C-alpha cells in the first residue's frame, strides 16, 4: 500500500536541509551578536492560550483537538503566546529581555506559493522597554539577518503604527475599527473598487473611504509622513507624538544601515494584539508575500497574567525566505564542494579508516568507501553525489602516509602529505 505525503507538508532531503540549516544558523548567529538568548517551548499548548487575544481567524486555522484527558490543546499556530507564557511564569529574569526561538509552526490553511501548513519560524522579541530604540533594534535585527543571508538589495521593510491608524480612524469618525483594520490589511489583495465598497459597507463615509484609499495606496518615505496625513491631522496635531516616534525609529534604522525602510499605511498585521508599531519585510520586486512581520504588543502579558511588560518582536518563516534565496541564487547545498570522498583500493582498509578519523577530528567532512567495488566506480559515485574532491588511497599511499588528491572539477591530481592536507583543508564549520 502506498501512503502519500499529507497536503501542505514537506518531505525534506539532505539537499533541502543543508541550505536551510545554514540559513537558520546565520539567523541564530546574528541574533546572538545582538545579545539575544535562545529559548524553546512545547509544540503542544492549551487552546485557551490562543483564545486570549489571537483573533477568531487564527483559532479557525489551528490543528487543535481534545486529548485523552479531555483538555483542548493545539499544535503551535504561532510563537508569541508561548514566549510570553515563559516570560510571565518567572519574575526573576532581568529586563530588558532579548530572546529568540526556532519552533515548527502549524496552520490549517489552504497551501499556496509561500504558505504551507507546517513550517519552521525564526522569532525574536525584546521585553521590558517601550522606546523607539527598542523598536529600531528589533527591525535592525530583522534587516541584519536578511542582509547576512545575501539579500541586502533584495528586500525593504514597510512600517506603520496601529495607534496612529486608530487615531486616523477616530478623526474620520469610523467606529468599526477592527473590521476596517481587516479591510486595510487586505488592501494589496483587493481591487481599489472592492476596497472602497467594503469600507462603505462597514460604515465609512464616501469622503472617509477616499481619504483612506489615498493614504494606503502606496508606500512613501518617512520624511513625507507629516504632509501625507496633514489633511487628517489638521491644526490640532493630535497625531504628532506618533509621527515623532515613528520618525525617530526610522532614523535609527537608517543610521544602522540594516535595511531600506518605508512607511506603508496598508501594513496593519492581522493579529489583534498589536498595540503600536507594526512592520513587514517584502522582496523589492514584489514577487512574494511578506518575508517576515512583527510589531509592538504591550498588552499581551497583561492579558495572560497580572504583569505589564512592554514587548516588540517579529517572526520569519522559512517558506518565503527559501523562495527569495533561490531567486537571488544564495540557496545552495555546497558542502560537498569542499568535502572529500575517500576511494581506496587494495588492502588499505585500516589506513583509510585512520585517514577518515583524522580528517573528521579536524572538522573536515569526508565519506569513506563502504563497498568493495572498483576504484573507477568509487570515483564515479563520488562525482554523481556532488563531491568535488576524492582522496585516492592505495598501497603506495599507505606505505608513505599520504593520499592522492584528485580535483574532479579541475581534472587534476597530486600526492599530498596527510598532515599538510589537514592544515590546508577548509573546515566544515566555515561554510
Q: What is the pLDDT of residues 390-408, one digit of tens each?
A: 999 999 999 999 999 999 9
Query: Is the N-terminal amide bond of 96 cis, ω within 30° of 0?
Result: yes
Start-to-end CA span in the chain (Å): 41
Is the separation of the CB atoms in 150 and 332 below 8 Å? no
The C-alpha atoms of residue 389 and residue 379 are separated, in whole angstroms, by 9
Q: Is residue 120 within a helix (H) or strand (E), and if so which, with residue range?
A: strand 118-127
Name the pLDDT band for 378 (thresholds 50, 70, 90): very high
Is pLDDT of 88 > 60?
yes
Is the separation of the CB atoms in 259 and 147 below 8 Å? yes
pLDDT at 51: 82
At 175-223, the pLDDT tens digits run: 888 899 999 999 988 999 999 999 999 989 999 999 999 999 999 999 9
At 229-240, the pLDDT tens digits run: 988 887 678 899
Beta bridge partners of residue 404, listed in sequence order: 392, 415
pLDDT at 431: 39
pLDDT at 235: 66
Q: Average per-residue pLDDT in the chain?
A: 91
Q: HEC states along 64-119?
A: EEECCCCCEEEECCCCHHHHHHHHHCCCCCCCCEEEEECCEEECCCCCECCECCEE
The C-alpha atoms of residue 301 and residue 82 are separated, in whole angstroms, by 11
Dihedral of alpha carbons 92, 98, 103, 105, sign? positive
pLDDT at 175: 86
Retrieve residue 361's grid coordinates.
577530528
pLDDT at 55: 59
How many Cβ atoms from other residues are within 10 Å of residue 360's Cβ? 13
At 15-30, the pLDDT tens digits run: 899 999 999 999 999 9
How many Cβ atoms from other residues are within 10 Å of residue 108's Cβ? 15
Q: Domains of the chain, with CATH numbers?
A: 14-327 (3.30.930.10), 335-430 (3.40.50.800)
Cell 516588540, residue located: 312
Name the pLDDT band for 43 (thresholds 50, 70, 90): very high
pLDDT at 196: 93
pLDDT at 428: 57
Q: What pTM does this model have?
A: 0.91
> What are the φ and ψ backbone dihedral angles of 403, each rounded to 5 degrees?
-140, 155
> Within 13 Å of residue 162, how many CA atoms lie on the same side as its CB?
23
Retrieve residue 4's grid coordinates.
502519500
At 125-169, the pLDDT tens digits run: 999 999 999 999 999 999 999 999 999 999 999 999 999 999 999
Q: How many residues does the chain have?
A: 431
Amino acid at each position: 500500500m502506498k501512503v502519500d505525503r499529507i497536503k501542505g507538508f514537506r518531505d525534506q532531503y539532505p539537499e533541502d536541509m543543508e541550505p536551510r540549516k545554514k540559513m537558520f544558523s546565520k539567523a541564530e548567529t546574528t541574533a546572538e551578536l545582538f545579545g539575544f538568548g535562545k529559548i524553546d517551548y512545547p509544540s503542544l499548548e492549551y487552546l485557551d492560550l490562543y483564545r486570549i487575544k489571537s483573533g477568531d481567524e487564527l483559532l479557525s486555522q489551528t490543528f487543535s483537538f481534545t486529548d485523552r484527558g479531555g483538555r483542548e490543546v493545539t499544535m503551535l499556530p504561532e510563537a508569541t503566546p508561548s514566549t510570553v507564557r515563559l516570560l510571565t511564569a518567572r519574575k526573576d529574569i532581568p529586563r530588558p529581555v532579548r530572546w529568540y526561538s526556532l519552533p515548527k509552526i502549524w496552520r490549517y490553511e489552504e497551501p499556496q506559493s509561500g504558505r504551507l501548513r507546517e513550517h519552521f519560524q525564526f522569532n525574536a522579541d525584546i521585553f521590558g522597554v517601550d522606546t523607539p530604540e527598542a523598536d529600531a533594534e528589533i527591525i535592525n535585527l530583522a534587516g541584519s539577518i536578511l542582509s547576512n543571508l545575501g539579500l541586502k538589495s533584495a528586500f525593504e521593510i514597510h512600517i506603520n503604527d496601529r495607534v496612529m491608524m486608530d487615531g486616523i480612524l477616530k478623526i474620520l469618525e469610523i467606529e468599526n475599527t477592527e473590521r476596517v483594520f481587516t479591510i486595510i490589511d487586505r488592501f494589496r489583495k483587493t481591487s481599489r473598487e472592492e476596497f472602497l465598497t467594503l469600507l462603505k459597507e462597514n460604515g465609512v463615509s464616501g469622503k472617509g473611504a477616499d481619504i483612506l484609499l489615498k493614504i494606503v495606496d502606496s508606500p512613501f518615505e518617512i520624511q513625507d509622513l507629516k504632509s501625507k496625513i496633514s489633511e487628517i491631522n489638521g491644526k490640532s496635531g493630535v497625531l504628532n507624538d506618533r509621527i515623532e516616534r515613528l520618525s525617530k525609529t526610522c532614523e535609527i534604522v537608517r543610521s544602522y544601515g540594516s535595511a531600506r525602510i518605508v512607511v506603508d499605511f496598508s501594513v496593519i498585521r492581522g493579529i489583534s494584539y498589536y498595540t503600536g508599531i507594526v512592520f513587514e519585510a517584502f522582496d523589492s520586486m514584489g514577487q512574494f508575500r511578506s518575508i517576515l512581520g512583527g510589531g509592538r504588543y504591550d498588552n499581551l502579558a497583561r492579558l495572560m497574567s497580572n504583569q505589564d511588560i512592554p514587548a516588540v518582536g517579529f517572526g520569519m518563516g522559512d517558506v518565503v525566505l527559501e523562495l527569495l534565496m533561490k531567486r537571488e541564487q544564495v540557496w545552495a547545498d555546497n558542502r560537498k564542494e569542499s568535502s572529500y570522498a575517500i576511494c581506496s583500493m587494495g588492502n588499505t582498509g585500516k589506513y583509510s579508516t585512520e585517514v577518515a578519523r583524522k580528517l573528521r577530528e579536524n572538522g573536515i567532512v569526508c565519506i569513506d568507501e563502504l563497498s568493495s567495488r572498483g576504484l573507477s566506480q568509487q570515483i564515479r559515485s563520488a562525482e554523481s553525489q556532488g563531491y568535488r574532491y576524492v582522496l585516492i588511497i592505495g598501497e603506495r599511499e599507505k606505505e608513505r602516509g599520504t593520499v592522492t588528491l584528485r580535483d574532479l572539477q579541475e581534472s587534476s591530481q597530486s600526492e599530498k602529505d596527510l598532515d599538510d592536507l589537514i592544515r590546508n583543508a577548509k573546515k566544515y564549520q566555515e561554510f
